[in-house]
Chains A and B, each alone.
Chain A
């Protein structure tokens, strides 16, 4: 596989295949980034970012870094983005962004600054690196000889051994930190009240009412939630109706109202009579 990937090498200009890959994947990566910024839904943002990361991974492979390309696909799009999606699903409904601008003109200024920064950086890089002599990774110390993976391993365990050990400390710190931050103490006193404590608090008046709200009444004539419950003295209990019913237009509930009042059409008394007889009676009419 990586002989194929490294075939793009050789000092000198970039091969045609690589140019084609770049001009396809580069715009795809940019589109993913823009889609991530502009989509309102956070899950869509995450999926756009997955697109960007996948195309960057392929660009790494094209650029003689097959190991990093696969790590990018496995670790970033496989693990990190799935972690993002998990947290998005846990956070849930709140994940869509608010449209309200807290600072006035923030989006406009961010866009202006972004365009300015892009212009500056792109201009600087384009002017500074006009004729780049690409050395390419073909020497025995680079991708030649044992290839990319084993040379990277050699480098990590010789020249970069100390940073690599520091990395292990970092990972342990991150794991412990995530455990501490994510830990929920469910069993200790004070975090969760028992049923007895809840009842005592209710009767002490710390809640609005000691019991639960009455449910809507279900009569023999109607099973609609718009039917209020009747209190023992026969009066209507307004608390038994959902708040949604108050906000619903009365025309939408008129069918229920007539059926409860009994003023509408009565059920067909001949509904159970067999079909042949009914057609006879209709013809007689």
Chain B
């Protein structure tokens, strides 16, 4: 091995894939470097819940054999990646961050896992997350906390905290997360990586442990915009096993990637920059908007008047769906079962009492209440109406712009333990990301610099028209090219 392991780990996804194809590096070298880095750093970082070294080594060997034959499955053939522990993986423990699934071995692979492996990507393990993706700091993981590589005393964000931290720390070249209210974009912003929540229906949810079915969407995290685009192109597209997945063909995200920002109309929602935002974050966002103007884009003032109802609507719809989705964790067929219970009701109650953490329980109660007879119209139905109004706001805004830009989060990564006592404060971390899920639109977080003072990454959020991920990638790439890459975070 000619290149030091640490340098191999900092290679971009496409760069690493090209190296394997050119036989400049082997997949086995990449995978060993990744496993070694996980070994060296994860004790402090806590990004992984499971590492499947044997399976990864075997896959790397197969990729090297392909490379030797001159075969290449895709541009990411042979490159180590990792997936959030919310994706079921055949024979590999899948917990969704919950005790109730401790030791559970799924008998099948999620569609996105199949697609990554079919493209030759090597999955080295399963990434830490908030229990059932419920959280914004990864502190709701039932197993271990995950730390932000920029400052280990801070949260990496959540719920895809492990997905963002592992990519930022160079453990893997890219990862998959899921985003129900901001769970990819917020950790991506906190950890200084690119994170994409595609249009609802762009990526199959088959094999994704469900949190809130009408909001959940799978997306990539990577250190470069183009790498994220490549992963999304690999996993996107119709899946007959998920009837909510779209039959629309997948666009070429990489083709127009370098077209720049000239002529782009960038909408700036006035509600997103009018208070409630930390000064350092606001400064970085305004600087990014200025950069767009300098690159030849036009800034357009737009309004999303109903976005202020987003949090309220979200915390009715998501818990309602979650209360139903989590009913299957009952101790009957898989996962944790309370032994020694007397009778069926006690077995249910005890298994769920022991197996589920405080946040899932809170949301199950919220959702059960919202769906109860006599309350359905006032809560769930009204929240769905708000959802329609939010979507109309966006439709209206997109009449005068091609992409909407604003903050991902009101602050940079906060300290671990800072908000755990105040769920409402925690929920407000999602204030800018949630509307995107409610409106089923694609959203992307791209690093736009480090906050002055703290030196922590700030993310710019870009929101696009339905299925117009290509424009998001193009706009994000223009900024990335102009600003240059973020420095690597300090060694954990």
A and B: bona fide binding partners: no
